[in-house]
Amino acid sequence: MVNVGLSCLVTLGNEAMITAGHVLDFLAGDPATRAVAIFMEAIRDPEGWR
């Protein structure tokens, strides 16, 4: 069995102030982050993903 831990779990609700792009930017700049998994129903701001 492999022990997989989570260091961060984020739920965004309606993304009124913080978007998935903001969270991804933060995690990409975090040296402790080795992998990111994202489940999204829709991309509300496609321009923010460029």
pLDDT tens column, 29-42 = 999 888 998 888 88
Predicted pLDDT of residue 4 = 72
Q: What is the DSSP string of 17-43?
A: SS-HHHHHHHHHT-TT--------S--
- CA torsion 16→17→20→24, rounded to 10°? 180
How would residue 6 be classed by pLDDT, with cut points 50, 70 and 90? confident
Q: What is the pLDDT of residue 32?
A: 85
Average model confidence (pLDDT) across the chain: 84
Q: What does the pLDDT read at residue 2?
A: 75
Closest Cα partner for 42 from 15, 3, 7? 15
Q: With 80 as the cut, is the pLDDT of residue 21 above it?
A: yes
What are the residue ranges spanned by the domains of the chain?
A: 1-50
- Give CA–CA dist 1/38, Å, rounded: 23
